[in-house]
Amino acid sequence: MYPDTLKYTKDHEWISASDGIGRVGITDYAQQQLGDVVYVELPEAGTKVSQGESFGTIESVKAVSELFAPVSGEVVEVNAALKDKPELVNSSPHDTWMIAIRLSEPSEVDELLDAGAYGSLVK
């Protein structure tokens, strides 16, 4: 259910990292808990983020939740499609990234949960 190619946080974000860049989104579990996503507030490119700190918010018909950075670094790209179509997070959560981060501490990725550990967490 959770792709082996991704790493996960206990806050229900995922990251796909390669060549020093990590793309970040939320897990299927998170989008199920939220319900229909209606708005995503993301930082601008150039924003510095720190592992475990909030980088934005996601709003659904049920609630507003903070988004937490799985790693530290600088936002180099924001998924502009989410501005007009935030519901992409619901339809394809593990393919819909929110921000891309240039990793300042690549070893932080190794500290995150693998698919098996994350799956056990959300059982």
CA neighbor of 93 nearest in space, from 120, 121, 60: 60
Residue 116 lies in a domain: no
24: three-class secondary structure by DSSP: strand
Domain hosting 98: range is 7-105
Residue 114 lies in a domain: no
Residue 27 per-residue DSSP state: -
Overall average pLDDT of the 95-106 stretch: 98
Q: Count of domains in the chain?
A: 1
Label residue 109 by pLDDT band (50, 70, 90): very high
Contacts of 16 (CB under 8 A, 6+ apart): 5, 6, 7, 22, 23, 97
How confident is the prediction for the chain on average, in pLDDT?
A: 97
Q: pLDDT digits over 31-88, tens only?
A: 999 999 999 999 999 999 999 999 999 999 999 999 999 999 999 999 999 999 999 9
Residue 58 corresponds to which tokens in the numbers above?
A: 């996601």
Label residue 1 by pLDDT band (50, 70, 90): confident
Residue 122 lies in a domain: no
Segments of 1-123 assigned E as strands: 7-8, 13-18, 21-26, 37-41, 48-49, 54-60, 64-68, 73-78, 99-103
Give the whole-number percent of the chain exceeding pLDDT 90: 99
User: The domain that contains 60 carries what CATH number?
Assistant: 2.40.50.100
